[in-house]
Chain A
């Protein structure tokens, strides 16, 4: 389709926007061919870059009228192929809808357009002592629209929940062409929670145009402890003891030996020597509360017999602890030419068992696996290292990843805690949900998108579709712009 007039649809589409914001050239399209699931590329027919909500509405209505598939796109950091273009479809790039429409410190809310970057919300709220709680590791680059579509998480989910718990309302243009407003500025909802249903739809319902977020006061004080343990088991036992104590830490994270090795190499993080696991626990709140709670936490950690426990003495030490933690994944990527990142959830009490299985499979398959995880949530992020140049390298790694996901389901957990189903895990959805349940989801999807034009081919299994996986670093990670959790 070299000739812009080759396709009537595309030339009519081009009429909706100035030429500079309608892209068809191969070089222009290349930047949109894949997302964080970098192994896969699909060339879209065109990329359109609206600047106003009205333009988005017109584009979606056009797609509806023409039965033209579209994929909404924020920053393209989805790790499950959520923003991978679809064959014969267009990409609606939303980065230029990046206005913070309103920030009301008295009511602690921000109303933003979908292209606003996650950290930009907190930056705007900071002068008022407020912040936006969800903190995916990609937060310096990913958009609120992407976060809403994927119900993204981060390191603080046990206490503060996911994106959905912070979205009070939204305006969207549905794939049917209807413009809707769900919820509002109140923290209370009346009637069915339409906002809650929309968040996490993975781009299958339509395009979010304006999102009302709740902001929280910034905690006055933090107490962050890093404790090293001889064995992973001991670190896991410490987590159980903390959870049983009645404390509610803001974050409980674990890194295993391989992840530690990588963080040491990458950001010169320093950990107690001879440890197979490091536990990071953070308390936060008013200083008097944190002072009282830290006495209890320190006692629990001391009783758990760590090799060494290091409380951060100041903000710089706290940041260093988090830097090591947040760099771990991209750091692991440097140990190996290729890797697969997995995201699964097991009940917390079965974490030890899950890790033992992963370690046994690692030996059996001859593949190294680093573990960095949100221990408080039972959210595992195993990173499987392999060499794609070996003939069966990728296949073995995929088999390993598949075993882990099946294990998560068998243990009563989930195939995804925060990265979503996308294309990557669509074949695993039936492991968690029955045919009737998937049918029910499809019917609801059909209500929002009767023609099946919004991000088709995602979330639901499709016969004959290739199984996909993620391997390798996101280009932005290679550049050191973002890191992965």
Chain B
């Protein structure tokens, strides 16, 4: 094995050999969420760049399996050709993000509103544990209850418990059409009211996003065109707003999906919220004139961005920094002994960074 393959293994067997051969390792994908792998210099970086490709895809099963370094772009395109998609709208597709990095970061996009996030579509993983063992957990079929649910555990695990090699997902048929509406919400209270009303309505919204800075809420409907026309009219009769032409809608979802609303090269963090906390979230953002924000999933997820060099205020909610220097966990983080014990179980030699790193 030459040096290049040590740092960029080309097979799962090489991946496990690489892990075994290095005392301290961290896996990196495309680097679109650089803060997550910003660890001390003594960690050897394993790139998943050459661990790429869809290894199994049978549209009739609603499942596919891909190597961890597979770019989302390739996955989205392949599924799209067969009229399917990952309903949680993976983020940073155009920026080159990989499927493995997306799982490890635990990132879901606007579509998570309807059927759930990444955690609700992951079915199985193959990963290398801290002893270099290549292990398979979960399954390859849409339903499976055998063994502990490691695949879910790896969502948001940041490569701290093992290196993901291969992942199996459930997919859904892509709805025939979508419609995007922009509704006005003059303040956070109006936004929260809208989240509750629209979320509890008969409409079965596909996405429910908001930008506090623009006093706007975006609603996406998905399904057969004729039905969406009626639903869109009903929504616009109830709330002031407009229907976005297709090009404007595509531009909006691109802006959300690629974080182009955020500061280029700046600090970016995701925050777990409840809808009622959106008021306070907006206040925290407003208190910092440089900050920009986005609210996703009907008020369950917030993103906050600051210019390069700025640092995040400490946040009273669970939060994770994706980009920029500064704290990895700028928010509250419950700590329990079990977290350490599971780390020891999976990584007894402490080969991977700690959650605190």
A residues neighboring B (CB under 8 Å): 105-108, 128-130, 150-151, 153, 157-162, 164-165, 174, 176, 178, 180-181, 184-194, 196-197, 199-201, 217, 219-220, 240, 243-248, 285-289, 291-293, 345-349, 374, 377-379, 412-421, 425, 429, 432-434, 436-437, 440-441, 443-448, 450, 459
- Structural contact, A161 and B226, CB atoms closer than 8 A: no
**Is B136 a contact of A190 with CB atoms below 8 Å?**
no
Question: Chain A residues near B317 (CB, 8 Å)?
Answer: 186
Q: Is B117 an interface residue (CB 8 A)?
A: yes
> Is the pair B142, A246 in contact by a Cβ cutoff of 8 Å?
no
* Nearest B-chain residue to A245, judged by Cβ: B173
Bound state CA distance, A446 and B344, in angstroms?
Answer: 11
In chain B between 329 and 350, which residues have their CB closer than 8 angstroms to a CB of chain A? 329, 331, 333-334, 336-339, 341-342, 344-346
Q: Is the CB of B112 within 8 A of A157?
A: no
Contact with A along B199-215 (1 / 0, CB 8 A): 11111100000000000
A436: chain B residues within 8 A (beta carbon): 133, 135
A247-B173, A412-B141, A444-B342 are contacts. A192–B154 as well, Cβ < 8 Å? yes
Answer whether A220 and B202 are a contact pair too, CB < 8 Å, given A194-B339, A347-B58. Answer: yes
Contact with A along B177-193 (1 / 0, CB 8 A): 00000000000000010
Encoded as 1 (CB less than 8 Å from any A CB) or 0, chain B from 46 to 66 comes to 000000000000111110000
Minimum CB distance partner of B229 in chain A: A288
| B119 neighbours in A (Cβ, 8 Å) | 165, 189, 193, 196
B141 and A378 contacting across the interface, CB-CB below 8 Å: yes
List A contacts of B133 (CB < 8 A): 436, 440
Whether B117 contacts A414 by the Cβ 8 Å rule is: no
User: B158 an interface residue at 8 Å Cβ cutoff?
Assistant: yes
Contact call A151/B145, Cβ cutoff below 8 A: yes
Chain A residues contacting B108 (CB-CB under 8 Å) are 188
Contact B196 A288 (CB under 8 A): no
Contacts of A197 in B (CB 8 A): 148-150, 152-153, 342
Looking at the assembled complex, report how far the CB atom of B340 sits from the nearest CB atom of chain A, in whole angstroms.
9
Q: A217 contacts which of B145, B150, B202, B272 (Cβ < 8 Å)?
A: B202
**Binary per-residue interface labels of chain B (262-299) against chain A in the complex, 1 for a CB within 8 Å, 0 otherwise:** 00000000111111100000000000000000000110
* Residues A441 and B148 in contact, CB atoms below 8 Å apart: yes
Question: Are A248 and B172 touching (Cβ within 8 A)?
Answer: yes
Measured between beta carbons, the chain A residues less than 8 angstroms from B135 are 434, 436-437, 440
Apart from A129-B200, A151-B145, A440-B346, 14 more pairs, CB < 8 Å:
A184-B272, A186-B318, A187-B300, A188-B297, A192-B339, A192-B355, A200-B149, A248-B173, A286-B231, A348-B61, A349-B58, A412-B141, A433-B147, A437-B136
Residues of A contacting B153 in the complex (Cβ-Cβ under 8 angstroms): 192-194, 196-197
Interface membership of B96, Cβ < 8 A: no
Show the binding face of B for A, using Cβ within 8 Å.
58-62, 83, 106, 108, 112, 115-117, 119-120, 129, 133, 135-137, 139-150, 152-158, 160-161, 172-174, 176, 192, 196, 199-204, 223-224, 226-228, 230-231, 270-276, 297-298, 300-301, 317-320, 329, 331, 333-334, 336-339, 341-342, 344-346, 355
- B148 in contact with A414 (CB, 8 Å): no
Quick one: given A286-B204, A440-B346, are A188 and B143 in contact (CB under 8 Å)?
Answer: no
**Alpha-carbon separation in the docked complex, A151 to B140 (Å):** 17
Contact of B143 among A187, A287, A345 (CB under 8 A): A345
B143–A374 CB distance below 8 A: yes
Contact B143 A157 (CB under 8 A): yes
Select which of A180, A191, A345 is within 8 A of B318 by beta carbon: A191
Report the minimum CB–CB distance from B147 to chain A (whole Å).
6
Do A292 and B144 touch (CB < 8 A)? no
**Which residues of B have CB within 8 Å of A159?**
115
Across the interface, which residues of B come within 8 angstroms of A196, CB to CB?
A: 119, 149, 152-153, 155
B62–A416 contact, CB under 8 A? no
Measured between beta carbons, the chain B residues less than 8 angstroms from A346 are 141
Report, nearest first, the 7 A-B pairs whose CB atoms are least far apart.
A196-B152, A288-B227, A292-B224, A447-B341, A190-B318, A246-B173, A443-B345
A-chain residues with CB within 8 Å of residue B226 when the two chains form the complex: 288, 292
In the complex, what residues of A have CB within 8 A of residue B319's CB?
190
In chain A, what residue has the closest Cβ to B335? A180
Q: Among B140, B204, B301, B346, point to the contact of A412 (Cβ < 8 A).
A: B140
Contact partner of A414 among B59, B120, B144, B150, CB < 8 A?
Answer: B144
- Judging by beta carbons under 8 Å apart, are A191 and B62 in contact? no
- A441-B152 CB under 8 A given contacts A130-B200, A220-B202: no
Q: Which of B129, B173, B272 contacts A440 (CB 8 A)?
A: B129
User: CA of A476 to CA of B58 in the docked complex: distance in angstroms?
Assistant: 41
A-B contact pairs, 11 of them (CB 8 A): A186-B272, A188-B270, A189-B106, A190-B331, A191-B106, A191-B333, A193-B154, A197-B148, A243-B62, A418-B143, A447-B345
